[in-house]
Structure 1
Amino acid sequence: MSAVTLEVERSDEAPGVVRLTLDNPPVNATSIDDLRSIADVLTSLSESDKVVVISARGKGFSAGGDLKEMDQLPGHEGILQQCLESARACTAISQCPIPVIVAIHDYCLGVGIEVVGSADIAIANEEALFQWTEIDNGTIGGAAQGFRMLPPQALRYLMFTAEPVTARDLWSRGALTEVVPASELINRTDDIAAVIASKQPDLMRHLKSSMDTLEAVDIENAMRFEQGYIFQLNMEGTGSAARTAFLEGTRQGVKKDPLEPDT
C-alpha cells in the first residue's frame, strides 16, 4: 500500500472543526489508504467535533483514484480495494453525524467527485473543472453521487461523454453550494465551518441525522450496486484493459488536457 497522504488537524483557533487535507503530489491521486483514513476518521469522531472540512493541497483537489497503485497490486486486488474503500469513505461522509464541507480547487475527477457528491456542502473556486472519467478508465462508478448533484439527463451526458464541466456550470444546475474566486476559497470555507461550529451541537447532530434519513439517495447501497458491474468488467478483462491503456498512453476517449493529469 502507498503511504497515507491525508493530514488530520484540530486546532484551538477553530474549536470543533476537524480538517482533513489530501496532499499527494504531483496530482493528488487518491490512494486506497487515503480513502481508508477518511472513513476511519469520520467513524471515530468525538463529541467535541462539530464540523468536518475536506480540502487538498497542490495542483488540484483530486485526480481520481490512483490507477498506478491499482495496477501494481496483484490480480484484482487493486480495483477491489479501491472500490471497497471508496464506498466506505463515501458512506462515512454521507452518514457522518456532523456536517461535512468540501473545498475544491482547480480540478476534480473520478473518486474526487464521489467525495464531493457525498458531502453536505461543496465550495469550489471559479477555475475548478470536474470530469467523470470512469467510462474511459474501464469502470462505471460515480452515478450514486451524481444523481444527488445533477438532473438525470445532465448527468448522463457528462458520464457518457467524459467531457469536463466547469464549477460555474455545475453550480447553475444546483450541484455545488457556492463558486468563489480562488483567493477566497479557504476563507469562505472557514467562515461556513465557523458558523456551523457555533450552533448548538446536539441540535445540529439531530438535524443532520433527520435530513440524512429523509434524503432519497442511499449512497452505500447505490455504490454497492454500481460496484457489481465494476467487478464484472474486471473479471471479463474490459476494466483492466482500459486502465492499462491509460497507463501506457494509448487510451481512446476525451483527449488529455490539463484537467486530466498523469497519475
Structure 2
Amino acid sequence: MGIDIRGDGRITEVIIDIPPVNALSADDWFALADAIRTAATSSTVTAVILAATGRGFCAGVDLKELQHRTDNAALIAVNRGCFAAFAAVYDCPVPVVAAVHGYCLGGGVGLAGTADIVVAADDATFGLPEVDRGALGAATHLSRLVPHQLMRAMVYTCRTISAQELRNFGSVLEVVPREQLAAAVRRVAGEIAAKDPLIIRRAKESLNGIDPVDLRRSYRYEQGFTYELNLAGVSDRARQSFLDRRRH
C-alpha cells in the first residue's frame, strides 16, 4: 500500500494505493511527487501512467489529518504536498496519462487536470467539494477540464460531472468500461512510447511553454484563501461537519 512504481522501459506506472478511499496525507502527497519525478529519470521512458487501485482514483486530502492537529503545521504540509504533486505531474519531462475510475475529487482533480491526457472509466465522476470542506483550490486544474462558467458553478455548488460529459468537452480522451481501463490507458501510453523519446520530451517542454496560465502561480493564489479560511475558524467547522456526516 502507498505509492507504487512499475516500469517496463518505455512506460512507467505510478499507482496510488491508499485505502480506503485514496485520500492522501501530507506525506502521501510528497511521496507521490517523488514517485512521479522518479518515474521519468531514465532517458528511455517516454510516457508515465498515473493510476489508482480501489473504489476511486483519488478522494483528495485526508481531512482527518488536518482535524486532529491544533496548529497550522498539518495544513501547511498538506498544501505544500499537493503543490509538489501537481507540479511534479506538470513538470514531468514526458507526457503523463491519467487513468481515472470512480470518484476523482479535490486533489484528484488537481492530478487529472494537470495530466497531459485523461482516459476514464465509465463510472468516473469529477468534482471539487472544497467549499463544503472549508477549503479552496484546484479550480486552476478544473478549468483545464471544463469551460469557465461550468467550473465556477461546480466550485460554488460542489456538483460533480461525469467522464462522458468531459469526453464531450474533449478534456477526456476516451471513456471505456471499468474493466477495460487498464488496457485502454496502456494503449494510449503505448502510442506515445512508440515515438522518439527525445522528440516527445521536447514536445512536452514546448507545450508547457505555451500554456496561457501559470499553473503554479494560479494554484498558489487559490491556496492563500484556504489559509485565510482556516485562520478565520470556518474550515474547522466545515471539516468537522463533513466527518460527522460520514460517521452516521
TM-score by length of 2: 0.94
3-state SS, counterpart of residue 244 of structure 1: helix
Structure-1 separation of matches of 2:98 and 2:69: 30
3-state SS, counterpart of residue 225 of structure 2: helix
Structure-1 separation of matches of 2:89 and 2:70: 29
Residue 60 of structure 1 and its aligned partner are, at CA, apart by 0.9
3-state SS, counterpart of residue 141 of structure 2: helix
Q: 2:151 aligns with which of 148, 152, 155?
A: 155
Counterpart amino acid of residue 104 in structure 1: V
Structure-2 separation of matches of 1:74 and 1:7: 32
> What is the match of residue 30 of structure 1?
24
Q: 1:60 aligns with which of 56, 60, 64?
A: 56
3-state SS, counterpart of residue 215 of structure 1: coil
Show CA shifts across 1:48-104 (max 9, x none): 222111111111111121111222334112221111110111011112110001001
Residue 217 of structure 1 and its aligned partner are, at CA, apart by 1.9
Q: 1:202 aligns with which of 191, 198, 209?
A: 198
Structure-2 separation of matches of 1:6 and 1:183: 22
Structure-1 separation of matches of 2:85 and 2:69: 20
Show CA shifts across 1:130-189 (max 9, x none): 221001000111211012121111111111100121111122123312111112111010
Counterpart amino acid of residue 36 in structure 1: F
Residue 211 of structure 1 and its aligned partner are, at CA, apart by 0.5
Show CA shifts across 1:189-245 (max 9, x none): 011111211110111111110011001121111111111111111111111221122
> What is the match of residue 253 of structure 1?
none
Structure-2 separation of matches of 1:165 and 1:248: 25
> What is the match of residue 218 of structure 2?
222
User: Is 1:5 paired with 2:2?
Assistant: yes
Higher strand share: 2
Residue 42 of structure 1 and its aligned partner are, at CA, apart by 2.9
Structure-2 separation of matches of 1:26 and 1:42: 22
Counterpart amino acid of residue 160 in structure 1: Y
- Give the aligned length: 245
User: Is 1:248 paired with 2:234?
Assistant: no
Mapped contact 1:148–1:217 kept (Cα < 8 A)? no
Structure-2 separation of matches of 1:176 and 1:5: 26
Counterpart amino acid of residue 32 in structure 2: I
Residue 41 of structure 1 and its aligned partner are, at CA, apart by 2.6
Mapped contact 1:72–1:78 kept (Cα < 8 A)? no
3-state SS, counterpart of residue 227 of structure 2: helix
RMSD across aligned positions (CA): 1.5
User: Is 1:20 paired with 2:14?
Assistant: yes
Residue 47 of structure 1 and its aligned partner are, at CA, apart by 1.7
Structure-2 separation of matches of 1:136 and 1:47: 43
User: Is 1:40 paired with 2:34?
Assistant: yes
Alignment gaps of 5+ in structure 2: none
Q: 2:86 aligns with which of 80, 86, 90?
A: 90
Counterpart amino acid of residue 11 in structure 2: V
3-state SS, counterpart of residue 149 of structure 1: coil
Alignment gaps of 5+ in structure 1: 250-260
Runs (4+) of structure 1 exceeding 4 A deviation are none
3-state SS, counterpart of residue 43 of structure 1: helix
TM-score by length of 1: 0.89
Mapped contact 1:94–1:118 kept (Cα < 8 A)? yes
3-state SS, counterpart of residue 102 of structure 1: strand
